Structures are given as structure tokens and as C-alpha cells.
Amino acid sequence: MNATIEPQRPWVYPQEGDDWQSIAAREFPGRTVEDAVADLQSWNLYLVFRPAPAMMTCSDIVFTGPPPT
């Protein structure tokens, strides 16, 4: 069976040097960065609350959509 498996939620990996703003601008080009960042952060609280000095890494998962209802 080779059909593509659809992810349960949309997500991306951060690119090196990314922050919330750069991910927002790339993933949501039709929206204001401010609004898109607010949504991104609400969908990724585990990254928002990650204690310093731990940072976002290229192996992290960043959800680009809300949890399934």
C-alpha cells in the first residue's frame, strides 16, 4: 500500500535561524505577521513555554493549524 498518509494536523520543521515571525511570514503570506504569530503560538504552546536557554530547533515540530475538532 503506497498511498500518502495525510497528517492529522499540518506542521512544518523550523529552518535554521527561524523565529516566530519568519515562520509566520513564510507559512501565512496572506496574513499580517502579528496575527499569524498569535495563531502559531496558540497552536504551539509547548514551544512558547519552553524554558530558556532552550530554543526552537530544526528538529522541532511547529503546528501550522489548530488541533482537530
Binding site for another protein (CB under 8 A): 1-3, 5, 7-9, 11, 13, 16, 46, 51-55, 57-61, 63, 67
Number of Cα atoms under 13 Å in the Cβ half of residue 33: 7
- Nearer Cβ to another protein, position 5 or 30? 5
Q: Least distance from C-beta 28 to another protein, angstroms?
A: 19
Q: Least distance from C-beta 64 to another protein, angstroms?
A: 12
SS3 assignment, position 62: strand
Residues paired with residue 11 on neighbouring β-strands, in sequence order:
63
- The C-alpha cell that represents 49 in the structure block: 513555554
